[in-house]
Structure 1
Amino acid sequence: MSMYDPLRDKLIANASASIKMSFAEIEALIGRSLPNSAYDYDAWWANEDPATTNHSHSRAWTVAGYAAEPNRTQRTVTFRRTS
């Protein structure tokens, strides 16, 4: 079980083409703070192939059929449906 499973489950349950969440909302959902790299680097939000990535956070949204589009200045991320 990944700490990002609650995020995956929320995205799977979402019927919209996109969902915008604040970093704080994601932290409340997963029950802990995002790592500093999520705040500092767009690369943390990369949309990696879920079959090959070792990054459980990326797998959470890609398995759910979404791509992440971060706005680190506003501390938000928009997840857009890809499939």
Structure 2
Amino acid sequence: MSIYDSLRDMLAASQLASIKMSFAEIEVLLGRSLPKSAYEYDAWWSNEDPTKTTHSHSRAWTTAGYDAEPHRMQRVVTFRRRD
């Protein structure tokens, strides 16, 4: 079980082409704070191959069929459904 399962499940249940969430909204969903690196590095939001990555956060949105597009300065991320 990953701490990002609730994010994965919410995205997987969605039929929307894109979902914009603030970092605060993601933290409420997770029930905990995002790591400091999520606030400091775009690379934390990389869209990695879910079958190869060791990063459970990236696996959460990619497994659900989305890519993350962070806007760190605004503290929001847009999840866009993969084609």
TM norm. shorter chain > 0.5: yes
C-alpha distance in 1 between matches for 2:3 and 2:22: 17
* Alignment-derived partner of residue 67 in structure 1: 67
Q: Distance in 1 between matches of 2:44 and 2:3?
A: 16
CA RMSD of aligned residues (A): 0.5
| Cα deviation digits, residues 54-79 of structure 1 (max 9, x gap) | 00000000000000000001100000
Q: State the distance in 1 between where 2:52 and 2:13 align.
A: 24
Q: 1:51 is aligned with what amino acid? A: T
Deviation at 1:47, TM superposition (A): 0.1
Cα deviations by residue, 1:5-47 (Å, 9 ceiling, x for unpaired): 0000000111110000000000000110000000000000000
Separation of aligned partners in 2, 1:13 and 1:52 = 23
Give the residue type in structure 1 aligned to 2:28.
A
Q: Within 2, Cα distance between the matches of 1:21 and 1:13?
A: 15
Match for 1:39: what amino acid?
A: Y
Q: Which residue of 2 aligns with 1:45?
A: 45
Query: Which residue identity lines up with residue 73 of structure 1 in the other structure?
Result: M
Question: 5+ unaligned residues in a row in structure 2: which ranges?
Answer: none
The 4+ residue runs of structure 1 with deviation greater than 6 A are none
State TM-score, norm by structure 2.
Answer: 0.98
Identity, in percent, stands at 73
Q: Distance in 1 between matches of 2:25 and 2:6?
A: 12
Alignment partners' CA distance in 2, 1:11 and 1:45: 15
**Cα distance in 2 for residues equivalent to 1:79 and 1:35:** 18
Q: TM-score, normalised by structure 1?
A: 0.98
